[in-house]
Structure 1
Amino acid sequence: MAPPKYTLHYFDMAGRAEPLRLAFAICGVEFTDRRFARDEWPGIKASGFLPYGQVPVLEVETDGKKEVIAESSAIMAYIVAAHGAAGGMARTAPLDVARVEEIRSAVDAMISKISPTMWEKDEEKKMAMRAELASTTLPRYLAAIDARLQDSGYVSGDTVTAADINVAEAVAWFTKGILDGIHTTIVDAYPRVLKCAANVRDHPRVVAWHKSRA
């Protein structure tokens, strides 16, 4: 049986697909990074190709047969199950598996608190929501996550897991300066979170991935 061929479908942006791209890179797995423009989206959504009408989706082709995996958490689970051992991302001990899922869930919950502000059209209300996030909600989540990481910054063991990638991508988003009302220094008080982000950012295969995109 030939190795599967992978095509990851998403917008031409980081978003929910970037952790998956980094997971493929860390595991040393080649894939087609199918990025589409915003004006292509209506046609793609109407095509029936997307099981839930959302992206990302991963197309897996094995010996001419194609399967589609939807939902970013399911795609990440597949990458780790299929290739995680080669990239050091896999965990087998029940407590380690649980810790990875715990941190992934915590990061997802934290990000979900920001989502309503992305769609708020009333600018005054939006900035009030962002102020609450910056002063209370995000620090609470960041402090809790920081306390659960190891001193090394890793979630579990001494290699990057899916949860480490999620933490790193959240930090990258917060520090880009694109979230009005949320200062780029919001993560500075959390040393383990910063170490976690650095562990992912400085991973040789992640560095190579970013260079290939430059």
Structure 2
Amino acid sequence: MILEVNDVSKVYKSVNRSLTVLDEVNFVVEKGETVAIVGASGSGKTTLLGLCAGLDVSSFGNINLAGHNLNNKTENEKASIRNKHIGFIFQNFQLLPTLTALENVMLPLELQDRAKEAGPKAKELLERVGLGDRMDHYPNQLSGGEQQRVSLARAFSNTPEILFADEPTGNLDDETSVVVEKLLFDLNKEHNTTLVIVTHDMELAQKTSRIIRLKGGKIISDEKVNA
């Protein structure tokens, strides 16, 4: 087991009302699983991803990630857990604009004081995603698909146990999406990483081994696919 979500709720309170975005959500993800979390806009899927990754705090319930109970950790402790165990892929890439593609991919390893292996590992991953000739380019010199391939390389650079992907093809055209999806699943298999994807794209979701559907902040189904 790599991720356990127990009775997790997220409630936003204002002066005269409260909004329940997630309502007593429960599920477990085993090591090596590929899971899609799907649902309409406003169903709570991106909020849930943020909670699972320790980027936000649940109002009720507990989340256990890679053997750590996130609810009793400080922000610095959660940042350390993320750096050691988690990879991220975002819809809007979130590359640092002042760093080259190579430097962006090296960064997670440098943050782990693994600077000696950072360069060779980053070059190997950029070659793997087909960007061996673009290593010295800055994000604004790359297309959207190329930027997402850099973010893929960065996500796998610290050999994460679990990878969280938030609408990884949401900003890409159909042709580029196919390339990025194949790289994502191929790299995930090669590194034996657990993969959790938030998406509204059912074609992408069907490529995982399990689909969790959210509606109104509740899980309405949790089904194995491609069995």
On whether the aligned pair clears a TM of 0.5, the verdict is no
Which structure has more strand as a fraction of its residues? Answer: 2
Q: TM-score, normalised by structure 1?
A: 0.35
TM-score, structure 2 as length reference: 0.33
Higher helix fraction (1 or 2): 1
